[in-house]
Structure 1
């Protein structure tokens, strides 16, 4: 199937980084990846389903409601997940979500949209050293689970942790989110793996490409 006749529809589901909060251009990393896909010759029907402050558990809980209506008629449905930073925020002396619960939320999310292929973009770096250590630990756990389950994983933390541009933008913004230049850096890091994944024909989805109904 040529890219000119493909019907690729992608739900980008996650937190405020997926929504592009802080980017005055309104593109975030998702909009830039979608534009890069069109430039490569593969236009997408893209749905940005990012919600501020949501944890992995909250993202997984809304997948069965939000994803099927958007992908039911797709020739090639895909889901890109991204979460984790909010899980590592401390509340009442503990992270909002335990790393084990984040891992289970990933499993639940994959089950919720099966057999639609899923890719996970890990959480980016944060400026607080203690929280960033938790983000780094969570990233390692998510990478390991993805390797075991065959879910493609893109390491956003590695791309941003040592990047002066990223930290400068976050500090200049609201302390959590970058501006346009920071999102451009993140998009540059994740676009290649995502577009390579989208470029491969989908062979493990039913003829109608319909996500499984919610259990």
Structure 2
């Protein structure tokens, strides 16, 4: 059963008295921030905002690894968690998960096998969510849609919207069953149109670009589930 935390205070003016949190962002390249040489991705952009005078003294750890799938994230979950408690053996307050994109692509050809077969992914994501929930409260940030016209990635991986949707729906339903808030970025971005989505991605068609990560951070900060933890946060835009 997911533990629901009390909302962080909504403060006016100085945020000096806001409780200090320890948050882990754990997942793949969407967490790592690949594709954003200006701001370092949405996690890094948010982390920097919490390092300025007068801001909340939250600690946000970027534990993204490029290419990770659900099995790799699950393998390092407990170890990452136990080593990020900081003072007095305090454990982190919240885990933000984002994984699944690297499990979905077809291998070698557009109709090849999925990198992680679907039934195995369902088992893996359920296990990851159960284990993470036993450690502390969890939020899940979904994937953004790829540019199918730029495939294959690395000359061998065929990402596509149909498989992305199938794997994200499995994740969303698994989160729903466990009362874990899930941010459906795939549907949100697709609703803005194909041309808009493609403009938010790098040339590889897989990773967000600078504009994409700026938008991603705004979408995540507008998410009520995260606002209940950190309150409303103004986005500082970093331009190239």
TM-score by length of 1: 0.80
Q: 1:5 to 1:189 in 2, by over 3 A?
A: closer
Larger radius of gyration: 2
Tell me how far apart the structure 1 counterparts of residues 50 and 189 of structure 2 sit (CA, whole Å): 22
| Structure 1: segments with no counterpart, 5+ residues | 201-215
Alignment of 1:14-163 (within 5 A): 14-34=27-47, 42-71=56-85, 73-74=89-90, 77-91=93-107, 93-113=112-132, 114-128=134-148, 131-163=160-192
* Deviates most, 77-86 or 131-140: 131-140
From the two aligned structures, give the one with the greater helix fraction: 1
Q: Is the 8 A contact 1:8 1:76 kept in 2?
A: yes
Secondary structure of the structure 2 residue equivalent to 1:95: coil
Secondary structure of the structure 1 residue equivalent to 2:135: coil
Q: Is the 8 A contact 1:23 1:180 kept in 2?
A: yes
Q: Is the 8 A contact 1:56 1:102 kept in 2?
A: yes
Match of residue 189, structure 1, among 216, 219, 226: 219
Q: 1:23 to 1:54 in 2, by over 3 A?
A: same
| Structure 2: segments with no counterpart, 5+ residues | 1-7, 10-14, 150-158, 232-240
